A and B are shown apart, each in its own frame.
Chain A
Amino acid sequence: DIQMTQSPSSLSASVGDRVTITCRASQGIRNDLGWYQQKPGKAPKRLIYAASSLQSGVPSRFSGSGSGTEFTLTISSLQPEDFATYYCLQHNSYPLTFGPGTKVDIK
């Protein structure tokens, strides 16, 4: 199984801050990775697919990069509506695996 790790597990940031979340795979997954945002009581929402492609309708302050085993999600200027938990998902091989999540809250 491919293990996904995320760092940090949580962070506190202010509106306007640049935020970077890292996801690492235990083995290479090409670019078969998505990033999801989840707010309390809501279903996850995909932000990024294929590691770096922005989902339609998602603000351009979100960006993704990486390939192989290391990936990053960057929020260029944190907005109030961005406070949420973020997950990565690898779909390169079965079983599909999610990262443990990164909670972004208000500083």
Chain B
Amino acid sequence: QITLKESGPTLVKPTQTLTLTCTFSGFSLSTSGVGVGWIRQPPGKALEWLALIYWNDDKRYSPSLKSRLTITKDTSKNQVVLTMTNMDPVDTATYYCAPIHWNDCFDYWGQGTLVTVSS
């Protein structure tokens, strides 16, 4: 059974750095073809893909946010961490993580975590 859970602060101040952790079970980031991605959704708006990291440490980022994002993995802990610098109120959103296995993309999702950016 595959499960994912996002964790991190619910409130951050403008200009601060956000660190989110995705803790998963039911698959391993040491398996060929496996990756974990982050997606966000501002309140009332559409889904937006942010970043992906693969078993071989290949990393992909949304071009519009690439300068602010860093994605890393801890295979032994079954965790993927996303950091986003210089947070702004427009970054207020629910942040989700989801797995990818070769070409099978985002079949399971975490419950999401709402992050509010406000002073």
Contacts and interface: CB of A to CB of B under 8 A. Distances in A.
Interface of A: 1, 32, 34, 36, 38, 43-46, 49-50, 55, 87, 89, 91, 94-101
B46 A43 contact: no
Which of A44, A94, A96 has the most chain B CB atoms closer than 10 A to its own CB?
A: A96
Contacts of B100: 91
B111 interface: yes
Interface of B: 37, 39, 46-49, 52, 60-63, 96, 100, 103-107, 109-112
Contacts of A94: 60
Contact of A87 (B47, B62, B110): B47
Given A95-B63, A96-B37, A46 B47 contact: no
A91 B46 contact: no
Contact of A89 (B52, B104, B106, B111): B106
Contacts of B110: 43
